[in-house]
Structure 1
Amino acid sequence: MKHLTIIVPDGQSNLSTVASIVGAYEIFAGANAYWRKTGKKELFSIQLAGNSKKVKYGEGLISVQPEVDISAITNTTLIIIPPTLIRSYNNAAKGNQLLIDWIEQQYKNGAEIASICSGAFMLASSGLLDGKNCSTHWAHADKFRSLFPNVNLKEEKLITDEYGIYTNGGGYSFLNLIIYLVEKYYDRQTAIYCSKIFQIEIDRQSQSVFTIFSGQKLHGDEVVKKAQTYIENNLHEKISVEHLSSKFGVGRRHFDRRFIKATGNTPVEYSQRVKIESAKKALETTRKNVNEVMYEVGYSDVKAFREVFRRITGMSPLEYRGKYNKEIGQTA
């Protein structure tokens, strides 16, 4: 029988941590039950493991009692790391160092690892994500990049799967990751069964539509910050990289390199994301049509606007307005 370890982190966690622990446990238990029902043996034994006898969450509202101390597990097949609070992440990392060391050792022993939302911070602290793709909640992307520059963050991805390491986006999208893992370890039919029983959309691959772009400004490059502000204050203009680099007295190539290093985007990508974020808000809150919104954010080519909008959000402007504008709704 395979062994599943669900980590119970100690400190700097919240109710989302509990939801992820309970959700992962229940869905894998449901997959086991389905296999029993179809005449197969249970695939996984499941244990909650940590380094404390009891962990309190939500200011003591809920407590979780690990079934076993992490040190007692010498061999496991799959490890699930739930979210941790990011605002005090450095303290959380210190408090969970024993867990981080154990995770690293288990991976070397052949275990696979899946992180949920901000659980990617704990996973990245082990060094196991260096040089690999990773996802986390889009709201934590800037902080993650500043702490772990050697990790290839793909915050638009709902799930990444690389070298036996799985990561996923934010919030309750962890349910999609668990269904993905059920299919990986059990089979497609079991995943479909669990998706129907727990009413989870199967095969969802992107969290782009949920992203609220706010711009990466946790860097110390004042020239880039001024350029970002200029882009954000001149949405209606078609700003070229040559114009920006000239305006701030920096050579084109050097400006490009500095901008990418500071923000994770090229100047063109940054401008596109800022414009599309403004377009999204207009489509959500006004009755303006797509052309009106397009012109307001500096586009004159409908095809180009739609292509960029879809690439960033995963939806067309009309689909987005129909989904998120309550007043217009499906009549769009």
Structure 2
Amino acid sequence: MTASSPPPEIGLVVYPQAQLAAVHGLTDLFAVADRLARARLGAGGPLLRVSHLGCGAADGPVARIFDTLPGAGGEPAVVILPPSLGEAPSGPAFAGLIDFLRVRHGAGTTLASVCAGAFLLAETGLLDGRTATTHWVCADDLAARFRAVRVDVDKLLIDDGDIITAGGLMAWTDLGLKLVERLLGPAAMMETARFLLVDPPGRQQRAYSAFAPRLAHGDAAVLQVQHWLQRAGARGVTTHAMAAKAGLEERTFLRRFRRATGLRPTEYWQHLRVGRARELLEGTRQPVAQIAWDVGYDDPGSFRKVFIRVTGLTPGDYRRRFGTDRAAGG
């Protein structure tokens, strides 16, 4: 951006049941970034423009309902779809907005979503063949509705250049800082993060997500095994024992279990064990080695490797971040 060029516009879509906390929070974040950068650079005019884009009727136009530079004209450089506080936004009620997003993307606008806003991006077809993230609670629904989209909820933010998706409800902070870095530079991003006391982008969503096994798959034999594993705590369980519990030949059981749950049996019971370990790390002062034993691992080193693979954190780091009394641990 040159001294004479207009500041880039970031448009925040205010659709029915959009989370207004994210809309106003991002508006404030960009205002802080603009103020800090202008003070550092000695700039006279604004470096960012923020607008709210309202959409009413299904086939109605998308129009600015708030603008930090009213009357400036032009089109947004970035359009952000915030989270929804209701059902995942999709379907005919959003036809006008979907068309608007396609047109803007075709004209060079970067599209971004937070949480369930990814459903609106997926409706455009622009996520087909791409990897995207959303809130981990929404992941299975997004993947089922839009099978051409590769859903990866381990990541809190996926920057695909012209399309950026962010995960959970509060991931708008990560998205906002990512856009500040893109539009104003890394120095502006870091000073904004420091001022707001939030972590710079780079966190992973998997540290926050709980294991939610698929249960509504219709395979009664596999469901029986899942219920048994929940009761048994997956300690000392073998694939052979699981197949026997299901009353199936082992190869048949493996095929049906993965088709029903999306996971191999070993992956499934690892998630169950890690889920129990997370509860103990959050709520007790038990040593990590004891927790590893309690959830079914004879070797604390093996437990640590599995825990890092599932959560992205060591057991000690997880306890320091999420423990109710911040109990120390390795």
Paired position in structure 2 for 1:56: none
Paired position in structure 2 for 1:130: 128
- Counterpart contact for 1:142–1:218, Cα < 8 Å: no
Paired position in structure 2 for 1:316: 314
- Counterpart contact for 1:35–1:42, Cα < 8 Å: no
Q: Which moved more, 1:232-241 or 1:133-142?
A: 232-241
Paired position in structure 2 for 1:78: 78
C-alpha separation between the residues in 1 aligned to 2:93 and 2:198?
A: 33
C-alpha separation between the residues in 2 aligned to 1:74 and 1:260?
A: 51
Whether 1:50 aligns to 2:36 is no
- Residues 78-227 of structure 1: matches in 2 within 5 Å? 78-86=78-86, 88-89=87-88, 93-227=91-225
C-alpha separation between the residues in 2 aligned to 1:257 and 1:124?
A: 30
Distance of aligned partners of 1:327 and 1:82 in 2 relative to their CA distance in 1, 3 Å threshold: closer
C-alpha separation between the residues in 1 aligned to 2:48 and 2:125?
A: 27
Structure 2, unpaired ranges of 5+ = 1-5, 58-63, 68-72
1:262 equivalent among 260, 263, 285: 260
Structure 1, unpaired ranges of 5+ = 54-64
The C-alpha deviation readout for 1:281-318, integer Å capped at 9, x for no partner, is 12222333222222222211111100111121222223
Whether 1:27 aligns to 2:26 is no
1:155 corresponds to which letter in structure 2? V
SS at match of 1:329: coil
C-alpha separation between the residues in 1 aligned to 2:78 and 2:65?
A: 17
Paired position in structure 2 for 1:7: 13
1:21 corresponds to which letter in structure 2? V
The C-alpha deviation readout for 1:87-126, integer Å capped at 9, x for no partner, is x336x54432321221122222222111111211222222
2:51 corresponds to which letter in structure 1? Q
Alpha-carbon offset, residue 191 of structure 1: 0.4
Distance of aligned partners of 1:221 and 1:132 in 2 relative to their CA distance in 1, 3 Å threshold: farther
Alpha-carbon offset, residue 187 of structure 1: 0.5
The C-alpha deviation readout for 1:207-238, integer Å capped at 9, x for no partner, is 22211222122433333323322332222434
Alpha-carbon offset, residue 255 of structure 1: 4.3
1:216 corresponds to which letter in structure 2? R
TM-score, normalization by structure 2: 0.83
What RMSD, in angstroms, separates the aligned Cα atoms of the two structures? 2.7
Paired position in structure 2 for 1:67: 66
Paired position in structure 2 for 1:36: 38
Alpha-carbon offset, residue 199 of structure 1: 1.8
The C-alpha deviation readout for 1:186-210, integer Å capped at 9, x for no partner, is 2100101111222211133212221
TM-score, normalization by structure 1: 0.82
Q: Which moved more, 1:212-221 or 1:251-260?
A: 251-260
C-alpha separation between the residues in 1 aligned to 2:312 and 2:225?
A: 27
C-alpha separation between the residues in 1 aligned to 2:132 and 2:301?
A: 31
C-alpha separation between the residues in 1 aligned to 2:35 and 2:271?
A: 45
2:224 corresponds to which letter in structure 1? K
- Counterpart contact for 1:50–1:99, Cα < 8 Å: no
